[in-house]
């Protein structure tokens, strides 16, 4: 048996029948994502009309050259699969009479180059040999005299190049809840997304499908945000499938001559594994976690979308929160990277990302945060040239004070709130300072020390200038903005809570911000889950987890009481009835499944389970769990090297570690009890640190 196995292993190593996984499809970095964005971006619909993005949407490069220098001890033949017409040169010499399944490579050191043309989708190639295989070490150029490492991903099947990328599908069914002649209303039981199937459709005339996140929306017919009309002209019944749409309810109206059997759907989804989890003694919070997770799931697709009904776009500010939420749920690195590439597009940079000033900054900060969680240096190096041109664009638009402000064509977003957005807004300067830090760190990874130095020194200068300019000793806070040289007397939460989140304030200043802004009810309240994301995080950063949970119960709980099966784009408890569904001047304009509403999955993971990386890729991490008034909490947080599991009640904490070196930091009046050999050190009056030095081990701590 042993001998046989050995024989098989040899076969495995050398047989050309098995090495599929050695060769990957490769492409120009970002172009798979840029192409996918051209496909996905235009799927937004508004009342039957297409609604593609209002920013520049780039096409991928249609003509690129892939190359490698190989060195093999003996000649071999490789199989070439190309998505696009191509030619091959070895050491600069064109290969004639090419048989792609049998390309002979001479032994020794040689330069191998493929020029691939595909202006319909984008060029990609897969080369598979015994030793020479296309993969992430190959280089690519769009023939602009610049060379990049190639883009790669989970595409290894020779018959499935990356432009065959597809989400997955599974059938779901609906219940008829209203039925009249030629009028059927069905309910899929909860917010969902997919391709609608009209089974057994026949006759002559029109069928009209109105989609609703609520029954009211579907029944409002042409006031629904999305709908479609189809002409039917057939005597034999057949099934029709639509483009993918978001809905819970569908109203089908048919002309008298048209009939169908029933309405079903193909649920469309990105396969994701729940690696994170959260549970606690409060069933409402558990329900909120589940609905948040489902909301995030529905919005995590080709890219991180903002909402599935209306925009279906990638928005850098929204996506930034999704990157972070992703790290506490499925830790799917690819969807983050797809989104980052798609948002950025190609050079030249002519507008801010999504045309929004703040969104350029979230893009740069997002890359650094992605790196912190994943440790993916290769990605930072690859995307770095595009970070740099974006930062150069931003810096070229700073004013004489070195501050940014909205210039003609810029959208200054911050939040949906009645606030001043012109002049030097303090909040934007904080994002600039943080982006410069992200750039400095990325520049170091990408071996660009001069730029790193420039950015880090600029960041420091701006941080100092922010406090010199905007800090009011009278208000004990950063004021909102300065316009025409005149400081505003207004204090808003934005800059102040980001000063805490970015750790730009010293402890005394933090205390002032806490008392005079965060916990001050006279300061303009935040009403979107979008900015609530940061507000709740900043509450937790200053030890107010209980207050944060109070708000979560109230706000998310309020939506659940109204029957929400996914979290909304905005929620105002003072509104009544259908008022809840209106936004942007449309009666059903509000998205009832909005990614930014999923933020409890992040909040619970980062601030209750308390898990966060302290060095890139979780090589070190801390766990600072907080019961926040609950009897017990338990859950999982994924890392690139395994999942951290935690259970905590008022007496005991159990932690299962991942790879990497962790520290458990807890509050306890007395010294916690740990197993033999585990270190406990005092970190403050009532604060203790337990060393989690052994990977994949369970620690039990009593306190």
Beta bridge partners of 436: none
Q: Is 54 in the site for a second copy (CB under 8 A)?
A: yes
Give 142 or 435: the residue with its C-beta nearer to a second copy: 142
The pair of three-digit structure tokens given for residue 687, joined into one six-digit string: 């604060």
HSE value, Cβ hemisphere, 13 Å, CA-based, for 549: 22
Give 28 or 504: the residue with its C-beta nearer to a second copy: 28
| Cβ-based neighbours of 639, under 8 Å, separated by 6 or more | 331, 373, 613, 617, 618, 621, 658, 659, 660
Site string for a second copy, 118-137 (x = CB under 8 A): -xx-----------------
For the chain, the straight-line distance linking the first and the last C-alpha, in angstroms and rounded, comes to: 54
Question: According to CB under 8 A, which one of 222, 283, 522, 670 is a site residue for a second copy?
Answer: 222
User: Of 492-511, which residues contact a second copy (CB under 8 A)?
Assistant: none
User: Of 658-687, which residues contact a second copy (CB under 8 A)?
Assistant: none
CB of 360 to a second copy, least distance (A): 14
From 38-46, 72-80, 176-184, 523-531, span contacting a second copy (CB under 8 A): 38-46
From 138-146, 281-289, 623-631, 652-660, span contacting a second copy (CB under 8 A): 138-146
Question: According to CB under 8 A, which one of 47, 461, 525, 697 is a site residue for a second copy?
Answer: 47
Phi first, then psi, for residue 94 (nearest 5°) are -65, 140
Phi first, then psi, for residue 353 (nearest 5°) are -65, 130
Q: Is 109 in the site for a second copy (CB under 8 A)?
A: no
State which H helix or E strand residue 112 sits in. strand 108-117
Cα 365 to chain centroid distance, Å, stands at 13
Q: Is 32 in the site for a second copy (CB under 8 A)?
A: no
CB of 179 to a second copy, least distance (A): 26
Buried b / exposed e along 338-353 (16+ C-beta atoms within 10 A):
bbbbbbbbbeebeebb
CB of 687 to a second copy, least distance (A): 52
Give 85 or 686: the residue with its C-beta nearer to a second copy: 85
Give 63 or 172: the residue with its C-beta nearer to a second copy: 63
Q: Strand 680-682's sheet: what is its strand order?
A: 611-613, 620-623, 661-667, 687-692, 680-682
Strands (E), 255-338: 258-259, 262-269, 277-280
Give 96 or 235: the residue with its C-beta nearer to a second copy: 96
Give 97 or 685: the residue with its C-beta nearer to a second copy: 97
Give 338 or 493: the residue with its C-beta nearer to a second copy: 338
Q: Is 148 in the site for a second copy (CB under 8 A)?
A: no
CB of 54 to a second copy, least distance (A): 6
Give 142 or 657: the residue with its C-beta nearer to a second copy: 142
Q: Is 350 in the site for a second copy (CB under 8 A)?
A: yes
Cα distances from 511 to residues 499, 501, 518, in angstroms, run 12, 13, 10
Q: Is 97 in the site for a second copy (CB under 8 A)?
A: yes
Upstream peptide bond of 348 is cis (omega within 30 degrees of 0): yes
CB of 351 to a second copy, least distance (A): 5
Please tell me the distance from the alpha carbon of residue 239 to that of residue 463, in angstroms, as a whole number. 61
Give 259 or 389: the residue with its C-beta nearer to a second copy: 389
From 152-160, 312-320, 345-353, 572-580, span contacting a second copy (CB under 8 A): 345-353
Give 14 or 229: the residue with its C-beta nearer to a second copy: 229
| Cβ-based neighbours of 466, under 8 Å, separated by 6 or more | 426, 429, 430, 433, 478, 495, 504
Question: According to CB under 8 A, which one of 73, 271, 409, 677 is a site residue for a second copy?
Answer: 409
CB of 271 to a second copy, least distance (A): 26
Q: Is 396 in the site for a second copy (CB under 8 A)?
A: no
Question: According to CB under 8 A, which one of 19, 20, 22, 63 is a site residue for a second copy?
Answer: 63
Q: Strand 486-487's sheet: what is its strand order?
A: 424-425, 481-483, 486-487
C-beta neighbour count of 267 within 10 angstroms: 17
Please tell me the distance from the alpha carbon of residue 78 to that of residue 97, in angstroms, as a whole number. 15
Please tell me the distance from the alpha carbon of residue 79 to that of residue 77, in angstroms, as a whole number. 7
State which H helix or E strand residue 379 sits in. helix 377-396
Question: According to CB under 8 A, which one of 94, 177, 237, 696 is a site residue for a second copy?
Answer: 94
CB of 46 to a second copy, least distance (A): 6
Give 225 or 369: the residue with its C-beta nearer to a second copy: 225
State which H helix or E strand residue 319 sits in. helix 316-327
Give 313 or 607: the residue with its C-beta nearer to a second copy: 313
Q: Is 55 in the site for a second copy (CB under 8 A)?
A: yes
Please tell me the distance from the alpha carbon of residue 405 to that of residue 314, in angstroms, as a whole number. 23
Q: Is 87 in the site for a second copy (CB under 8 A)?
A: yes
- Binding region for a second copy (CB under 8 A): 38-39, 41-42, 46-57, 59-63, 85-88, 94-98, 115, 117, 119-120, 142-146, 222, 347-348, 350-351, 355, 408-409
């Amino acid at each position: 048996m042993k001998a046989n196995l050995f024989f098989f292993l040899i076969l495995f190593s050398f047989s050309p029948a098995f090495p599929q996984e050695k060769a990957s499809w490769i492409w120009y970095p970002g172009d798979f994502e840029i192409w996918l964005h051209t496909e996905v971006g235009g799927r937004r619909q508004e009342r039957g009309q297409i609604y593609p993005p209002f920013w520049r949407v780039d096409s991928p490069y249609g003509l690129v050259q892939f190359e490698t220098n190989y060195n093999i001890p003996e000649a071999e033949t490789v199989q070439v699969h190309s998505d696009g017409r191509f030619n091959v040169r070895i050491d600069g010499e064109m290969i004639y009479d090419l048989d792609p399944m049998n390309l002979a490579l001479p032994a020794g050191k040689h330069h191998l180059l493929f020029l691939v043309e595909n202006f319909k989708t984008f060029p990609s190639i897969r080369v598979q040999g015994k030793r020479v295989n296309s993969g992430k070490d190959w280089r690519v150029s769009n023939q602009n005299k610049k060379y990049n490492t190639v883009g790669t991903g989970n595409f290894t099947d020779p018959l499935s190049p990356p432009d065959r990328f597809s989400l997955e599908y599974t059938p779901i069914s609906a219940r008829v809840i209203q039925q009249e002649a030629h009028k059927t209303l069905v309910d899929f039981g909860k917010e969902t997304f997919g391709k609608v199937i009209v089974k057994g459709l026949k006759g002559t005339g029109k069928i009209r499908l109105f989609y609703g996140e609520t029954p009211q929306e579907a029944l409002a017919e042409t006031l629904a945000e999305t709908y479609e009309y189809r002409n039917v002209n057939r005597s034999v019944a057949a099934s029709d499938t639509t483009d993918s749409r978001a809905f819970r309810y569908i109203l089908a109206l048919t002309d008298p001559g048209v009939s169908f059997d029933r309405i079903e759907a193909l649920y469309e989804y990105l396969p994701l594994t729940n690696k994170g989890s959260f549970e606690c003694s409060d069933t409402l919070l558990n329900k909120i976690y589940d609905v948040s997770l489902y909301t995030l799931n529905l919005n995590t697709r080709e890219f991180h979308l903002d909402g599935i009904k209306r925009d279906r776009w990638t928005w850098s500010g929204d996506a930034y929160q999704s990157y972070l939420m992703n790290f506490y749920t499925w830790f799917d690195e690819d969807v983050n990277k797809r989104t980052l590439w798609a948002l950025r597009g190609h050079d030249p940079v002519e507008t801010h990302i999504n045309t929004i000033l703040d969104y350029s900054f979230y893009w740069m900060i997002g890359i650094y945060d992605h790196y912190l969680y994943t440790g993916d240096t290769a990605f930072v190096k690859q995307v770095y040239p595009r970070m740099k041109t974006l930062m150069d664009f931003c810096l070229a638009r700073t004013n004489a004070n070195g501050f940014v402000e909205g210039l003609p064509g810029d959208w200054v977003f911050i939040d949906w709130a009645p606030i001043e957005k012109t002049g030097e807004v303090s909040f934007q300067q904080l994002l600039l300072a943080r982006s410069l830090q992200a750039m400095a760190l990325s520049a170091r990874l990408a071996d660009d020390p001069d730029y790193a130095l420039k950015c880090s020194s600029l960041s420091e200068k701006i941080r100092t200038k922010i406090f010199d300019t905007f800090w009011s000793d009278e208000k004990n806070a950063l004021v909102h903005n300065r316009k025409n040289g005149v400081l505003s007397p207004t204090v808003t939460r934005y800059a102040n809570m980001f000063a805490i989140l970015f750790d730009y304030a010293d402890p005394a200043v933090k205390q002032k911000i806490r008392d005079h802004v965060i916990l001050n009810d006279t300061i303009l309240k935040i009403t979107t889950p979008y900015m609530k994301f940061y507000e709740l995080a900043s509450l937790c950063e200053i030890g107010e987890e209980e207050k944060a949970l109070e708000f979560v119960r109230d706000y998310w709980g309020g939506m659940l009481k109204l029957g929400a099966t996914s979290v909304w784009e905005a929620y105002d408890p003072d509104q009544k009835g259908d008022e809840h569904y209106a936004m942007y001047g449309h009666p059903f304009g509000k998205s009832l499944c909005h990614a930014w509403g999923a933020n409890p999955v992040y909040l619970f993971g980062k601030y209750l389970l308390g898990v966060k990386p302290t060095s890139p890729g979780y090589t070190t991490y801390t766990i600072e769990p907080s019961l926040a008034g609950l009897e017990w909490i338990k859950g999982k947080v994924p890392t690139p090297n395994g999942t951290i599991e935690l259970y905590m009640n008022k007496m005991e904490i159990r932690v299962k570690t991942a790879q990497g070196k962790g520290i458990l930091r807890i509050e306890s009046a007395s010294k916690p009890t740990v197993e033999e050999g585990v270190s406990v050190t005092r970190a403050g009056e009532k604060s203790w640190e337990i060393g989690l030095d052994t990977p994949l081990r369970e620690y039990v701590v009593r306190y």
